[in-house]
Amino acid sequence: MAVDVPGVRSAIPAPSTLPPLRHLPAFRHFFRHAYSVTLDPAKIEALAREQVRADGALRSDPDRLEADPEAAGKP
C-alpha cells in the first residue's frame, strides 16, 4: 500500500508518513526480545514523540485521498 499505483490510487500512507513509522517495528522487536536490558528514557521519549507526529499524519492520509479524487484513482 505504500507504493503509488498510477491511475488506481496514491500511496497509503503518504511517503512523508513512512520514515517515523519504520522505527516502530524495530523497537517492538527489540523490546519483545530484550529480557534484561535497561531502556534509555530519552530514546523512548523521542520515539514516542515521533510516533505521535506520525499518528497525526497517518490519520490524515484517508482525508487526503478523499479530498483529491485523482490521487485516489477516481475519475
CA distances from 24 to 14, 37, 40, 46 (A): 17, 18, 16, 12
**23-54 confidence digits (pLDDT tens):** 778 888 887 887 777 888 998 898 888 888 88
This prediction has a pTM of: 0.52
* 59-71 residue pLDDT tens: 887 777 777 656 5
Domain that holds residue 69: 1-75
| Number of domains into which the chain is organized | 1
Nine cell digits for residue 59? 490519520
φ/ψ region of 7 (left if φ > 0, alpha if ψ in -120 to 50, else beta) reads left
Q: CA-to-CA distance for 5 and 16, rounded, in angstroms?
A: 16
